[in-house]
Amino acid sequence: MRGNYRIRKKDIESIARRKKIQGCVSFLASMLLFFLCAKNVDGAAFLLHETLPGFPMKISKGAYSAEMKESYSEEPQEDEDAQIEPEPEAVPVYGVSIEESMVAYNAEDLLGVNDISLQPETDISQSSVPKTDLSTLADLEKLRDFAYLQKSFYTTSSTTMITPDLFDVDKFMSADLKIDNTVSGPKILIFHTHSSEMFKDSNPLNPMDGIMGVGEKLSQILSEVYGIETLHHTGRYDWINGAVERDGAYERVEGDIKKILADNPSIQVSIDLHRDGVKENIHLITSENGIKMAQVMFFNGISRIKKSGTLQRLDSFPNPYLEDNLALSFNAQLAANSLFPDFTRRVYINAYRYSLHMLPKSMLIEVGAQTNTMEEAMNAMGPLAKILTTVIN
């Protein structure tokens, strides 16, 4: 019995030693696993920082690739030649401010990268339709032929159609589009229903490095070069809870724009400035005096939709200023054809009213597309300002 007892005691001591060893191994394995997990997270964060500074991305399980691992460094070396860009200044706005909107969002939400299918104004399949330049008196006589007008002057969405009663050239030509520049206060309002629209090389961290910055340039030229006081509104209406949200943007913008117009009765022209979306192989580019610039397109929504071959009013979206809108874009296109023949695309006609129903002289203008650079878009503001002042002065 004592011998058997000693054997069992030895066995117990051996088992205890094994358990102790296993415990140490388990502890070391846990520590190693913790370290690897921590390294995994840091590695992903480092790669994403290098790709889109400040923009976290969604990483699914198993998405930590070999490329991420190779890009990870315990202590990233500083680039001595790198220039640190100053943070953009906050701009006061009526709606969601630029400063408040500069929060993290997903890379797939960056406009100018993956947003072509989300363009609500134009049909990208029609973006390369060539334009017929019309500016002489002989050309104007041709435009009285409705079939010629339809074919040569406008691009029409498949959702609607143009009719002779709406598109009367003589009415357009006789419209009084001049503004009174003697009254005190701003005469022109520039805003952006889609403020997050970016260009090919825009910095998505900075809202002013997209269409909003282009609007600031246009405002500056109109005010300083042509002496027409211009108000640039930088509210953001396609930005909800830290992400791009275009649905409902035209409804959200309306309240603030109406308030601005009520607060500034001197405003006589409103411009909703956008950036278009086209197929990636299309580059909307022209040149004036050797300077490359984005092409521009005037746009109208006519609050009428095509059903069974007939044109029906959208009674829930009335626009009492439709005739004024159409006359303004028509005359702007004529001025562009005369001053800068290759600068504009055809006037685009779509079914809905967009932001064109709050002031008689309302315009929606598309500047270039996501395939243009920011510089090309900025360069286009000089000719655009000249065209606008030609029409309204």
| 82 within some domain | no
Task: Tell me which residue has tokens 């500034």.
Answer: 264
Is the domain of 119 the same as that of 203? yes
Is the domain of 278 the same as that of 194? yes
The domain boundary, picked from 35, 56, 71, lies at: 71
| 275 within some domain | yes
User: In which region does residue 243 sit, left (phi positive, over 0), alpha (psi from -120 to 50) or beta (all else)?
Assistant: beta
pLDDT in tens, the chain (393 residues): 444 434 444 454 555 566 556 565 555 555 554 444 443 433 322 222 222 222 223 323 333 233 333 332 333 333 333 333 344 444 333 444 333 333 332 323 323 222 333 344 555 555 545 555 555 555 778 889 999 999 889 999 999 999 999 999 999 999 999 999 999 999 999 999 999 999 999 998 899 999 999 999 999 999 999 999 999 999 999 988 888 898 999 999 999 999 999 999 999 999 999 999 999 999 999 999 999 999 999 999 999 999 998 999 999 999 999 999 999 999 999 999 999 999 999 999 999 999 999 999 999 999 999 999 999 999 999 999 999 999 999
Is the domain of 52 the same as that of 131? no
Is the domain of 388 the same as that of 309? yes
The per-residue pLDDT for 36 is 43
Long-range contacts of 123-127, Cβ-Cβ distance < 8 Å, separation of 24 or more:
123/157, 123/158, 124/277, 124/278, 124/279, 126/155, 126/157, 126/348, 127/276, 127/278, 127/279, 127/282, 127/284, 127/345, 127/369
Is the domain of 123 the same as that of 215? yes
| 79 within some domain | no
In this structure, how many other beta carbons lie within 10 angstroms of the beta carbon of residue 211?
A: 27
Question: Which domain, by its residues, includes 294?
Answer: 98-392
Residue 225 tokens, joined: 């070069």
Contacts of 113 (CB under 8 A, 6+ apart): 107, 198, 204, 370
Is the domain of 60 the same as that of 162? no
| 373 within some domain | yes
Is the domain of 63 the same as that of 111? no
Q: How many domains does the chain have?
A: 2
| 36 within some domain | yes
CATH number at residue 307: 3.40.630.40
Q: Is 39 exposed, middle or buried (0-12, 13-18, 19+ CB in 10 A)?
A: middle
Is the domain of 34 the same as that of 152? no
Taking the C-alpha atoms of residue 298 and residue 331, their distance in angstroms, rounded to an integer, is 10
Is the domain of 14 the same as that of 63? yes
Is the domain of 249 the same as that of 315? yes
Is the domain of 36 the same as that of 119? no
| 88 within some domain | no
| 116 within some domain | yes
Distance of alpha carbon 255 from its chain centroid, rounded? Answer: 20
Is the domain of 201 the same as that of 319? yes
| 92 within some domain | no
